[in-house]
Chain A
């Protein structure tokens, strides 16, 4: 099963402040550990929301609304994510606990969310088959 570890944004990360060298090194060591364990699928940091864009559909069937960042609710924003492939929810939590406190200042927060597998989305066999074919075609992530 796959889990996404979401690192929540803080005022500093939103302000574009660079993390300390110690933190960068600790993060690199952590990523190395994930790689060596063969669980890392992808991991990326995000630019602050100042150059983010939001597209919303306030009316079903209506036109989308496009808004440019920055967005204010720093605590709810995302600063980065790491996707891992593990055997259980517990293993995912264990890995998340090994991640260094991503921000310091008492602001660090990581959210762990399980990724949907095709089976979770629908029980329709035709759709499952289609989704399976598409996953193979479009994502080609599983090996």
Chain B
């Protein structure tokens, strides 16, 4: 089963603050471990929502409304994700717990979501 490990954006990530060198190192070490265990499918970081675009359909059947970022509710935005292929939910959680605190400043948050099976 596939799990998506979403890293939530904090204020710092949204402001475009670069992660510390220690964190970048710890993150690449973590990705290496995932790869070596054969569970890593993909890992990407997203640019801050300042360069994001939203397309909404407030009226069914009508034209979409396009808004450009930044978006305000920064706590809930996604800053990056890692896609893994594991045998159980527990295994996914164990891997997520091994990820370094992705943000620091008390803002770090990872959300795990199972992918609908293909």
Contact = CB atoms under 8 A, between A and B. Distances in A.
A84 interface: no
Contacts of B40: 138-139
Given A60-B106, A64-B101, A130-B28, A53 B112 contact: yes
Contacts of A134: 28, 31-32
Interface string B82-103: 0100000100110011010111
Contacts of B19: 121
B84 to A, nearest CB: 11
A122 B32 CA distance: 19
B57 A101 contact: yes
Nearest to A103: B57
B6 to A, nearest CB: 7
A104 B80 CA distance: 27
A115 B114 contact: no
A54 B110 contact: yes
A17 interface: no
Interface residues of B, number: 63
Contacts of A52: 111-114
A123 B28 CA distance: 16
18 contacts: A47-B113, A47-B115, A53-B111, A81-B4, A89-B51, A97-B66, A101-B57, A101-B64, A104-B57, A106-B58, A111-B49, A111-B52, A115-B45, A116-B45, A120-B47, A130-B28, A131-B24, A139-B43
Interface of B: 2, 4, 6, 18-19, 21, 24, 28, 31-32, 34-35, 40, 42-47, 49, 51-61, 64, 66, 71, 73, 76, 78, 80-81, 83, 89, 92-93, 96-97, 99, 101-116, 118
Interface of A: 2, 4, 6, 42, 44-47, 49, 51-61, 64, 66, 73, 76, 78, 80-81, 83, 89, 92-93, 96-97, 99, 101-116, 120-122, 124, 127, 130-131, 134, 137-139, 141
